[in-house]
Amino acid sequence: MDLKVEDIYKCPEGHKASIVWISENENTIAVRCPYEHFVKVEKVAIRTKSSSSYRNHATEEREIFTKDMVFLIRI
Ligand SMILES: [Zn+2]
């Protein structure tokens, strides 16, 4: 294996990510992926202008994505 920092390597979802760290024994690397990754579904409160009190507690589920995630990969 002949990898070095800043080389392109696939993230677990198959995007082109870049290597940011390689362990001393070279069996683990960290890659940072610039693409968005699904993280979780989160319940968020919906703000309404309605004055009825129960509406103020309404929530909706929203999918949370994040960019620039770092993955540790065993190679
Ligand atoms: Zn990715």
Cα(31) to centroid(ligand 1), Å = 9
Choose among 7, 8, 9, 16: nearest CA to 74. Answer: 9
Cα(68) to centroid(ligand 1), Å = 8
> The whole model's pTM is what?
0.73
pLDDT at 71: 96
3-state secondary structure of 53: helix
pLDDT at 67: 95
Query: Is pLDDT of 2 > 80?
Result: yes
As a three-state string, the secondary structure of 13-34 is CCCEEEEEEECCCCCEEEEEEC
Looking up tokens 């509406």 gives 55
Cα(16) to centroid(ligand 1), Å = 7
Cα(14) to centroid(ligand 1), Å = 6
Tell me how far apart the alpha carbons of residues 21 and 34 are, in angstroms, rounded to a whole number: 16
List, for residues 6-64, the tens digit of each pLDDT value.
999 999 999 999 999 999 999 999 999 999 999 999 998 887 666 565 556 788 999 99
